[in-house]
Amino acid sequence: MTLKRTNPADLKNGDVGIVGIPFDENSSFLKGTAKAPLKIIEAIQSDSANYFTENLIDLSDHPKVKWVGNVSYSDYLDISTPVRSILEKGAVPFSLGGDHSITFPIIQAFSQKFDTLNILHFDAHGDLYDELDGNRYSHACPFARIMEAGLARRLVQVGIRTMTRHQAEQVDRFGVEVIQMKDWSEDIRFGFDGPVYISFDMDVLDPAFAPGISHHEPGGFSTREILSIIQHLDLNIVGVDIVEYNPERDVNGVTAMVAAKIAKEILARIVDG
């Protein structure tokens, strides 16, 4: 059994269109995340596991969950085009990256449909730099681009543990709500008024649980902590990205399986919502 493979043009209202965005040109340290989407799909479909989520939703050939394959694009900002086509079908884009810079063109597509979008962002890094190494589209900058363009009403960041003075200034400038890792409590719950986009960077996890990432930042969440957070979400989720898995740094495919598990549990929150 597999995920249902679908042509993007055949998506229907209410479907979840899982789309691969194999882009890593804006990575500041290491390349390799462009190889992630197919590796995550392989992990989801691996015979070593099954298609059931922990609340017993069977994702195998699920009528709403569709894998539409890796997209093609002409340049970085054109990444918004295939995402927009999924939204036009009334489907929920579920993007597998790719470096975190893909979130900016994705949200550009969302802004044409949602004028009150909220973003729940899981990450070790705030990705709020105005520029990094002269690149304003670096994977360290997408949320600065999003917020300065007014594309999100609220941005809530979780798991941050690399704050700098510049990024703290950006937090104040844009009114970002930051829950640093040092301040995390398992009693925290998330409430949003309106549609929510989830941007999930794999390095929000401690590298002990997800070694296949470009930036190893100790002190992050365990896999079980993240799964518990996801399973307690009660949100109107209208879009998702999972980014920054780097297969070239993985160990025996461990991180691919973690990404697959996270993807399955987020899918459960969408299709069971």
Q: What does the domain layout of the chain look like in residue ranges? A: 4-271
Residues in the chain: 273
Distance (Å, whole) CA 56 – CA 54 = 5
Is 2.60.120.10 the CATH classification of the domain at 4-271? no
Distance (Å, whole) CA 219 – CA 159 = 9
The answer to whether the beta carbons of residues 212 and 250 sit under 8 Å apart is: yes
The closest alpha carbon to 94, from 266, 272, 218, belongs to: 266
Centre a 10 Å sphere on the Cβ of residue 84 and count the other Cβ atoms it contains.
Answer: 17
The answer to whether the beta carbons of residues 130 and 145 sit under 8 Å apart is: no
The closest alpha carbon to 227, from 254, 267, 256, belongs to: 267
Cβ-based neighbours of 149, under 8 Å, separated by 6 or more = 108, 111
Taking only the tens of pLDDT, the chain with its 273 residues reads: 578 889 999 999 999 999 999 999 999 999 999 999 999 999 999 999 999 999 999 999 899 999 999 999 999 999 999 999 999 999 999 999 999 999 999 999 999 999 999 999 999 999 999 999 999 999 999 999 999 999 999 999 999 999 999 999 999 999 999 999 999 999 999 999 999 999 999 999 999 999 999 999 999 999 999 999 999 999 999 999 999 999 999 999 999 999 999 999 999 999 986
User: Which neighbouring-strand residues pair with 198?
Assistant: 120, 240
Backbone angles phi, psi at 264, to 5 degrees: -65, -40
- Whole-angstrom CA distances from 57 to 120, 208, 266 are 24, 28, 12
- Structural Rg of the chain based on CA atoms: 17
What's the pTM value of the predicted model, to 2 decimals? 0.97
Q: How far apart are the first and last CA of the chain?
A: 24
